[in-house]
Amino acid sequence: MPRPYGEPLRPQFHFTSAKNWLNDPNGMVYHDGEYHLFFQHNPQGVEWGNMTWGHAVSKDMVQWQQLDHALLPDENGTIYSGTVIIDRKNAAGLNRGNEPAMLAFYTYATKNPGCQALAFSHDHGRTFTKFKNNPIVPAISPNTDRDPKVFFHEDSGRWVMVLYVDQDHTFAFFNSDDLINWEKMSSLEGYFECPDMFALPIDGDPENTCWVLHGADGVYQIGSFDGKTFRPENERRLKMDHGKNFFASQSFNHMPDNRTVQITWMRGGNFPGMPFNQQMGFPCELTLRSTHKGPRLFRWPISEIDSLYSNVSTYEDLPLQEGFQNPLFAHVDDAYDIECTILPGTAREIGFGIHGRVFSYDVEREQFHHHTEAKVKFGPIDGKLCFRFLVDRASIETFGAEGLVSITESVLFSPNYRGLDLFVRGGEAKVESLQVRSLNSIWESTT
């Protein structure tokens, strides 16, 4: 019997529950030196069901400690996704002395129609008490409305809840002064589940800020928000991530450094024979940057990943010639952070082999082909192609064009090949810089 967290398919730097099923991240919040990750969890088995809020805490969003379950089903139903906020101004009147309450907003789901409820904690999320006057938002439609996202809107001075209304596939926007009584203000059609919403400065300019709204599939729009109504700047909806396993991502509330950091569920992973099932994506910082097509979201792994680096290999000014070449042949490990900048030169194709999976870039068409045969288009930046790969035992997260493109994939690798390749076809190219960083396990202190 493998030791806990020592199983052969256990991801080494992506969060997984100690055992049983995991899906949507919930209630991500920073408070008093701790990052809290709540998550959909089945305490009774490795398949979806019996939805409960699991709970883990971290000092750096990298090393996680799983705690006892935070919210368990009761006579009102199972516990679907939602949000946690810190009520520093005691808007709900639930604080205890000088200690602000941690408030969890969630969906009661089993007994249709679903409704929205509240729970509160006075011990940093270790235990929660369910609000005696639940529900705080009764059912709107005959289906299970769900996944409340709650945050404070500074300009209007009111609390906002964005809620998925299942019957007509809309996001409904509510306002409240006390976090208990909510009034519907507007709605927006065409979104599905797990809303998230946040404001970001364009190119870091605090005087030029836009709002971003997205659903569970990562499709997003950029626009303005007055606390009541979201107004997209155009009708076109954009993809935050192009991978088949990116779903139900959420960002942290109350970040201490004004970053917007997101974690996604890697939906659809495969972990045969393991006591756990499913994994989270690695935390990524989100920024808005100007492009020739307008402002776009960029996703990039948080800098805290460098705490896991070991055996860093650096290559510079490395020529790549026609035919198969492999400057990476000596690297055989479970987990990597690989970052590469290439001058494409006359090459027609630039390729990477990662544990037997091939990723290639068509220079003429400016298309990146990953092993699932999907094609993602992005061009060079200042004449340079930038790639980054986070490689774990059961996933590859790819980033291109400094984070303009990301591809989140759960992958069950062949145990027979654990190597890395880099090659060009149809001409010559040059590696300006390449770093291959082996990653230590986040579970070393747990096992």
Residues noted as catalytic: 24
Residue type, 149: K
Q: What are the phi and psi torsion angles at 321 (to 5°)?
A: -110, 170
Q: What are the phi and psi torsion angles at 337 (to 5°)?
A: -120, 110
Q: How distant, in Å, are the alpha carbons of 1, 441, 447 from that of 20?
A: 16, 20, 18
- CA 171 to CA 169: how far, in whole Å? 7
Identify the CA nearest to 241 among candidates 223, 260, 259, 267.
267
Q: How many CB atoms lie within 10 A of CB 90?
A: 14
To the nearest 10°, the Cα dihedral for 369, 374, 375, 380? -50
Identify the CA nearest to 326 among candidates 435, 186, 422.
422
- CA 339 to CA 308: how far, in whole Å? 15
* Residue 283 token pair: 């935390």
The sign of the dihedral angle between the CA atoms of 140, 145, 148, 154 is: negative
The angle subtended at Cα 313 by Cα 307 and Cα 316, nearest 5°, is 125
Q: How distant, in Å, are the alpha carbons of 304, 328, 334, 424 from that of 353?
A: 26, 10, 14, 11
- CA 48 to CA 58: how far, in whole Å? 25
Q: What are the phi and psi torsion angles at 308 (to 5°)?
A: -100, -5
- CA 334 to CA 241: how far, in whole Å? 24
Residue type, 184: K
- CA 107 to CA 164: how far, in whole Å? 11
Q: How many CB atoms lie within 10 A of CB 278?
A: 27
